[in-house]
Amino acid sequence: MKKEKSIKGHGENFMKYRFLLSELVHKNIKLQYRDSVLGMLWTFLQPLLMMIVLSFVFGTLFGRDSSKVVNYPVYLLCGRLLFDFFSSSTKRAMKSIRNRASIIKKVYVPKYIYPLSSVISTFVTFLISLLVLVVVILFFNIANINPIHITWRIVFAVVPILILFVFSLGVGMILATLSVFFRDIENIYDVLTTLLFYVTPIVYTIDRLGFAAGSIELKIIKLNPLYGIIDMFRACVIWGGDAFWQHWSMHLMLYCCAAAVVCLVVGFLLFYKFQDKFILHI
């Protein structure tokens, strides 16, 4: 009985503050490029330029294996766009509580609004930046250089994107809680994301690592949910044709779903348990 009431209370509280959530999301997006000459255009330019740089650096090294990659710049862009959303949304969520110290100390606000708004606003920017992928694919298809065969299966791309959102929110909540109590997390996490970038097959294909199928090393790499999420996304974009089922694994999908949901639940519980103590530490 009491529990029911408290769930209803949370719902009402969320409805009361949903305008704050939308204000914060708008603010994060609006302010990101305010005072810059090109403004929102950077959302497209930044990943595009990054793709060109990385294609030059790693293209000759990893791009030759065309049966596994099809089109190296597109292969790279798929991985990097998703990874970039993960790393910047979790970093922003991590800092969201500490950056609002002056507000949290003075006014009552449901605190989860801050990490949540960080992740949502990064997600919106990410969705806009997916247009770069469309443009790049169109460019290669029209120029007829390693064209990508796009099919209706591209709609499946929603699945990895949603899993990624849930996973990032979960990780963001965990980091936000931890960083209130231990500042070190912010420094450690910068290094960790760099490490994560290289242990996730983004610039290379997993086969290039040369581990035997079923080897322990391969299993460890596949434990990383980002591997599965990016792999599924690529399957939808690059291998939407007959080869789709060779690239899309249901096991992997279930594993990623489970990992993301576990992360979110742990994140919310951790945050919920410690949120009343935030004010004493920020």
Task: Name the residues that contact other proteins, by CB under 8 A.
Answer: 16-17, 19-20, 22-24, 27, 30-31, 34-35, 102-109, 182-185, 276, 279-281
| Residue among 208 and 281 whose Cβ is closer to other proteins | 281
Residue with tokens 């970039």: 84
**Helix, strand or coil for residue 202?**
coil
Give least dist CB 275 to other proteins, A.
9
Give least dist CB 33 to other proteins, A.
11
Q: Which of 134, 158, 136 is nearest to 145 (CA)?
A: 136
| Residue among 103 and 243 whose Cβ is closer to other proteins | 103
| Residue among 211 and 274 whose Cβ is closer to other proteins | 274
Give least dist CB 99 to other proteins, A.
11
| Residue among 16 and 64 whose Cβ is closer to other proteins | 16
Report how far residue 34's alpha carbon sits from residue 178's, in angstroms, rounded to the nearest whole number: 31
The token pair at 123 is 């997600």
Give least dist CB 150 to other proteins, A.
40
| Residue among 4 and 35 whose Cβ is closer to other proteins | 35
Report how far residue 241's alpha carbon sits from residue 38's, in angstroms, rounded to the nearest whole number: 38
Helices (H), 63-213: 66-69, 72-99, 101-104, 113-143, 158-181, 184-199
CA within 13 Å, CB half, 73? 23
Q: Contact, 228 vs 212, CB < 8 A? A: no
Give least dist CB 270 to other proteins, A.
15
Burial class (CB in 10 A: 0-12, 13-18, 19+), 174: buried
- Which distant-in-sequence residues (6+ apart) come within 8 Å of 75 by Cβ? 63, 69, 205, 234, 238
Give least dist CB 25 to other proteins, A.
11
| Residue among 80 and 111 whose Cβ is closer to other proteins | 111
Report how far residue 158's alpha carbon sits from residue 267's, in angstroms, rounded to the nearest whole number: 23
| Residue among 98 and 208 whose Cβ is closer to other proteins | 98
Give least dist CB 155 to other proteins, A.
33
